[in-house]
Structure 1
């Protein structure tokens, strides 16, 4: 199950891009260039009590030695380096030194120790990652080439997306607090109120409304190689949404807080939050930001 979890996590933070045409705000930094020859590492994070399928325990010393022997004994592996928990925490503190909310959400004991693995250019990276994931004491192995590709995709997203309630949605925001509209698809009145709220927020530079037909068309265009998925997806499966571009240097927290509470809004996607989630996962083996972390709802 662990070898599936990594793919699911990376895919989860880029999946929303499939329903929207790329839009880069004036404030967005250009995405990192990723070439086929770039020597990205595979990060093999060892168990911590909070890691999936680790039974609330850290990896033992014997498990750590076994994982190291396995990695060094794999023919395609060219380098293995160990990153201790203390070293990982020091790097984490340095990287997020200016972001107190992020630092406050993570303790030293939350971070896993890891092995960082480089492989030859002809190596089957997916196979090595999958085999590492099966070793006792491994929390999860992450191919950082996939994570960097994910970050590039996220950088092309809208700054914020508001996904609207659909009929029979199980999301709490759609089930209550909407009066007679509870458990129903977003109403015309709710959409009008949301648009008015967006227009009144000074941090918003521009926005677009995306109906289900447009969302489906974008989804199909973004997934030309996934015909099986397209064949079982209907227009009615796609949520309506508002796509927002924020002004350069805007405070993202205020519009996020205000719009997330609007009746008819099922959920929000925040580019900053998604990039943070992916970074914490791929570089530090953390399962996403804690509640209240900077850049997230």
Structure 2
């Protein structure tokens, strides 16, 4: 699992976005209320009584500088604006599918994690998301690379690294596999440029990006960080199809499509939906 986490974090490592992600009083905590689709809510919406009790509780908390309520109509209007170019997602999500929420501003010096846990235990609450943890900003994640292809590391638990590779199963991506991957990238329609990032470079970028995270640094070795190919793509090409095709190559652990990552992250942080499949969230073209 650590390889999956580190690959996800490596999507941003060494980019301007990674350097900008730090705690800020301006980032909100989003308290999403129960809907029938929310795990743990027993297929029920939050009741009016629960909403009022939660509002009273939040407005009484001295740790909060502001509390605002976002109703379903307002959430859906913002959702339609944010994903205006994603017809597949717009078709999949209706107004009733979005949870109502409270948005909290936390005062300087307050333990945000303790505040989040205190709210999560309240009746009618489906999910609580701190933007400083999952997002770091209310704007889509920025990166110079459109698609990142992460290769297998030694002792990886990723299914793609454990089978279908012959004698290389469970091992770091081989030179032969990397040559095949590079050839496939060069033959893929829509790829404008690409680079190969070796393990030493990837680890250096990772350390520079997350140097302040002592707990993460203490458990991460260079051998944990995957090598990768980073691609820039033409905007008119189906990035989803390219990602799926390259993900099937032996030696590839996982593929991150930035367009898809942006959409999934924003959908979760701003609208409380993390349960939709990629086929409905990820727009193939701009």
The Cα of 1:272 is off from its aligned counterpart by 1.3
Partner residue in 1 for 2:104? 117
How does the TM-score come out when normalised to structure 2? 0.80
SS state of the match for residue 292, structure 1?
helix
**Residue deviations 1:34-90 (CA, integer Å, cap 9, x gap):** 9967x5443211122443443443323322121111112223545433333344234
Partner residue in 2 for 1:66? 53
Match of 1:21 among 14, 17, 28: 14
How does the TM-score come out when normalised to structure 1? 0.77
Match of 2:172 among 171, 174, 185: 185
Decide whether aligned partners of structure 1 residues 232 and 95 sit closer, same or farther in structure 2, where only a CA change above 3 A counts. Answer: closer
Mapped partners of 2:206, 2:262: distance in 1: 21
Alignment of 1:283 onto 2:270 = yes
Residue range with higher mean Cα deviation, 256-265 or 246-255: 246-255
SS state of the match for residue 155, structure 1?
coil
Partner residue in 2 for 1:225? 212
**Residue deviations 1:158-187 (CA, integer Å, cap 9, x gap):** 221111123333322223333444444322
Match of 1:158 among 124, 129, 145: 145
Over aligned residues, Cα RMSD in angstroms?
3.5
Mapped partners of 1:54, 1:13: distance in 2: 32
Matched-pair contact (CA < 8 Å) for 2:199–2:227:
yes
Mapped partners of 2:7, 2:169: distance in 1: 28
The Cα of 1:292 is off from its aligned counterpart by 0.6
Mapped partners of 1:13, 1:214: distance in 2: 14
Alignment of 1:244 onto 2:231 = yes
Matched-pair contact (CA < 8 Å) for 1:79–1:117:
yes
Q: Unmatched 5+ residue regions in structure 1?
A: 1-10, 25-30
Partner residue in 1 for 2:163? 176
**Residue deviations 1:220-267 (CA, integer Å, cap 9, x gap):** 222222334323322221212111122455442342232122222110
The Cα of 1:194 is off from its aligned counterpart by 0.5
Residue range with higher mean Cα deviation, 46-55 or 185-194: 46-55
SS state of the match for residue 242, structure 1?
strand
Alignment of 1:54 onto 2:41 = yes
Decide whether aligned partners of structure 1 residues 193 and 212 sit closer, same or farther in structure 2, where only a CA change above 3 A counts. Answer: same
Mapped partners of 2:202, 2:20: distance in 1: 27
**Residue deviations 1:86-125 (CA, integer Å, cap 9, x gap):** 4423432343243121123334443211123345567665
Partner residue in 2 for 1:3? none
Decide whether aligned partners of structure 1 residues 148 and 178 sit closer, same or farther in structure 2, where only a CA change above 3 A counts. Answer: closer
Alignment of 1:141 onto 2:128 = yes
Residue range with higher mean Cα deviation, 197-206 or 44-53: 44-53
Match of 2:247 among 248, 256, 260: 260
Alignment of 1:104 onto 2:91 = yes
